[in-house]
A and B are shown apart, each in its own frame.
Chain A
Amino acid sequence: MQKTFDIPRELMTEEELLQPGMLSCQGCGASLAMKLALKGLGERTVVVIPACCWTIINGVYPYSALQVPVIHVPFETAAVSASGVRAALDARGEKDVVVMAWAGDGGTFDIGIQSLSGAAERNDDILYVCYDNEAYMNTGIQRSSATPVGAWTTTTPAGSIKEEPKKDIEEIMLAHHIPYMATASVAYPDDMYMKFKKVRHITGTKFIHLLSPCPPGWRIDPSKSVQITRMATQAKVFPIYEVRRWRFSKKRGRLEESWKYTINIYPDRELSVKEYMKAQGRFQQITEEMLHDVQERVDRKWDELIRKADGRPLTPNE
């Protein structure tokens, strides 16, 4: 039988930092992702949450589902609020505590991109996680600049579905010279866990982009959310990779700025964009032409990615 995951023991045995009582919908990727992220990070973590579904998920006063300190902040301020917490913890000598901004795609790609850009340019020592469910879900499924071509939302209704491609947030973040950028998803929990474990030891701005399934927003069955998220990677719509900045130059004997791309997941089966999209209610209006364009874009990006990852495709067993 083909081995799908290598789930680390800790994933199943360690204490849960996300407790029962949290308020997400069934099949929500955002809550599952938080659970995995905190497993990787551990309890010495502060979570900074701007307006998004997680505002609700964490519970209503006086309850809090997370067993780590949480601060809720205005919608567009996740990154800089985290920078502020970081500065204060540094002043208090608590340098080992990780400050994690945890924002949706709206809070990241759109309204929060200014403060995120500021924090990344300053290389503030924070972890910024965008759980990307590809629309404003909290306010009832409106388009964001992370909404993909062909998707229905309440502001891109039938008859005027989204035509503009999704912003390339990975490249935007890499253009800030940050030390670490990765993508991950709940469909590959082992990979995700390892990444959150790793970033604890990287100083500077770390950015993790999570594809985060949302059953009501994607018009999918809650029981299928992990499976469909995996299909996104199998269709190469959402490649799972990471990029480290700086590399040791043997020639000059010092660290030099360069980017090391690693593709972490080579899908066990390959799917077309169409297969991925047609599995979801939100893409039912997509045209053949759009599908064709998206497929081309996806193929081109994947080729680029392979080239960047040292110019050779790795085999799944490597």
Chain B
Amino acid sequence: MLDTASPCLEVRNLVVEFPGRHGTLTALNDVSLAIRSGEILGVVGESGAGKSMTGAAILGLLERPGQIAGGEILLSGRRIDALSDREMEKVRGREIGAIFQDPLTSLNPLFTVGAQLSETIRQHIPGSSRTKARARAIELLQEVGIPGPQERIDHFPHQFSGGMRQRVVIALALAARPRLIIADEPTTALDVSIQAQISGLLRKLSKEHDTAVMLVTHDMGVIAETADRVAVMYAGRLIEIGPVDEVLKSPAHPYTRGLMASIPALGARVERLHQIDGSMPRLNAIPQGCAFNPRCKQAGPRCRRERPDLMPTRTGEAACWLYEGGVE
């Protein structure tokens, strides 16, 4: 899987902290990942694992008092984690597009979708006239599969269904042809019947335009159909990353195994759903050593003492002492 070209997005040892009155919370701890152009990286993990936080850090949209306390973020080899707000405004939308969970509330209800599209286009492509921006907006709506874009462009968000609105949101994210798209649960708020369409659209667009995509979702079905590789997060850390088929079929990390076993659709004909005992620790109570050790059936003394870094497995990497010194 070695690739000589430098990846589109590279996150190295990212640490995000929330300084507070009762000490500092470490929301992301030593997260490293890379996405190549045209590749879709799925990001999974329990609620609160830090998936959205990773996306927000990359976009430079951490909510105060959250801040990047360590590591670096590179976009096509350029560091973007220390840019000023003004400079970051040129990166957001222009080089990184974002799609959020709820298409119903992502659009400003008082502006037509055309106005919002033109605004984004004209913001990022200087010197594009009103008519040019409008033509481009229609083209974008067409591209994300909205029928009758010539009329639809003048409609307000409330005149669209949920699925259509999410297509508009995708069109907005694509407006300036970014190299990277961060999609945070883009299908969660949608009808099951529409989820597949939207994730299919994302995959098609990613492949056509050679765009890197970071796809955060809880839905393993979406991951299986859409992603090329998967990253698993737990308590603010990345604990496993690898090709989608391998991670889904033969997960390496004990936590990922538990996570996969708890999903009915993929494990064929399981009698009882396998549940991992206990729950993910809160940020102020992360145990020493491996964060997963209190819930892990295979945990040994070392797991309670020392934190494992990502170590190579057969096809990917896992942060688990089981893989120290090569595979099995």
Q: Do they bind each other? A: no
